[in-house]
Chain A
Amino acid sequence: MTDPAQGNTLSQAPALAPQLEARIAIVESAAPKSDFDASGWFWMILLGVAIPLILLAVGWWA
């Protein structure tokens, strides 16, 4: 998603290498509008928060 700054005055962009310019143009139009989906958040919360919390509880009180 490309949403540069409303409220930020951007001057004319300095010239990028033509290959980079073309590459950025493609990526700008093709980049996904969001990052992690519901499944990704589920696994992150399960593996990165819930299970560690259980392990912490086990270790602290066992």
Chain B
Amino acid sequence: MTTHANTQADESAWPLLPEERTWGAARLTLTLATTAAATWCYLIGESVAGYLGFIKGGLALSAGCMIGMVLVLLAAGPTCVRFGIDSVAATKPQFGSRGWVVPAALQAVSIIGWNSLLIIFFAKSAVQLCVALGILDLGSHNAALVPVLTVLACAIIFTVLRRGATGVSLVSNILVAHVLIGLWMLYLLVSRRWPELMAAQPANASSNHLWNYTTGVELGIGATLSWWPYIGAMIRMAPNARTIVLPVMLGMAAPVPLLSLIGLAGSLVLKSSDPTEWLRIVGGPAYAIVSLTFVTAANFGTTTAGIYASAIGLRNFAALQKHTWTTLLLITIAPVALVGIFIPELFFAKFGNFLALIGVAFAPLCGIQIVDYFVLRRGRIDIRAIYVDAPGHAYYFWRGINPAAMTALAVGCFTYIAFLNPLTYDSIAPYPYLTASLPSASAAALAYFLGSLLVIRAGRGAYPRR
């Protein structure tokens, strides 16, 4: 193996060698925690505040995040960490040597969408920080700075990520302190507004208390399921599965409900999930500056990790394998920058609906991967076949596509929408007892298992004999 290959290992979709997988539990925990601790936590908390109070909302989110995280870990974790590959490459045994473009598209759309949101948030909070510091005056002309700051942020992220995963880890080491600052902001609000917090009533609560609680759980599951695109690119840097379980469960799943409490509390008491707004009210300008710094930095860290995961995912496309890492970064960052420059407000307004539909697909994706790895293949993955797209090879199926996986994905998506419409929140009777994500993952897993029996009978897919 050449030195060049070793140096560029974390910038490709190729499997990492044991000596390249140097992230221990502490480094992985820091990186995952920083990835998870972004402005989306406030939005998640705000969503839950529509249905639940502070205590129950926190419990529901914690339960949901832990359930969602274990699904993601079981789905992508084993293959990614055993062979040092990313989440998208790990879908080839299920979707086929060409069918993997479907999860890749989901990954790209999801990450680009999230990153566009975060980068716009970053730019807006940076403008507000400049105002709070007296660098800028209040005024509508500041809105014009958002596109400029978006471009600046993209340029910084590009520079950081030219170092590959090392750049992600470097940013994480600096920014993890801001998770603690987030908890301090929560402490301020809770300690100063506790009676109001306990008395606050959720605005959109149903008369069915079970439905409200389950919806809180569902929002937590959905939030952590959307980590699926990120997780492979991170855990493949760890040497083995033993290293990843606690970092993933505690580093990625735990900070989300904790920081979501900020948005939850803010929404319930002050009708705003954004601490950059309510900290001025609660603590004055000095606290606002601290919070703005936190929001700005946290969004920057998460966007950096997201852009990295997206760029790695692009490496799976044959046409992009020979391009330089710099080119891949530019391709990944460009859509984010364009959204931030041209349609930031429109994107904000429509983003929730858009992302809800994207999230519907990740529960069945997890179900398919879990049943494939643990039940059908019993842990036997052909790493060589993941990189071969030719008839007769293990994951070629039919024209590179496994119809069982495609059908199961569709079954899972329809099941989710049948249980809970993510746009209107209309639901069916079993939903309060089952959530929507868990039936969706289960239905997809069952459909995949049954479909795979036919695939196995046809002699495709390289499944081990029973």
Q: Which residues of A contact B (CB under 8 A)?
A: 1-11, 13-14, 16-17, 19-20, 22-24, 26-28, 30-32, 34-37, 39-40, 43-44, 47-49, 51-52, 55-56, 58-60, 62
Contacts and interface: CB of A to CB of B under 8 A. Distances in A.
5 contacts: A2-B381, A7-B459, A10-B393, A17-B321, A51-B62
A15 B428 CA distance: 52
Contacts of A30: 17-18
Interface in B369-417: 379-385, 387-388, 390-394
Interface stretch (B64-72, B190-198, B341-349): B64-72
A49 B392 contact: no
Nearest to A62: B56
Contact of A4 (B241, B249, B382): B382
Interface residues of B, number: 62
Contacts of A44: 70, 73-74, 245, 249
B241 A36 contact: yes
Contacts of A31: 82-83, 383
A49 B69 CA distance: 10
Given A13-B388, A16-B387, 9 more contacts: A19-B2, A26-B1, A43-B245, A44-B73, A47-B70, A47-B250, A48-B249, A55-B60, A60-B210
A6 B294 CA distance: 54
A46 B220 CA distance: 18
Contacts of B393: 10-11, 13
Given A27-B17, A27-B383, A40 B242 contact: yes
B348 to A, nearest CB: 31
A62 B53 CA distance: 13
Contacts of A24: 15, 383-384, 387
B394 A35 contact: no
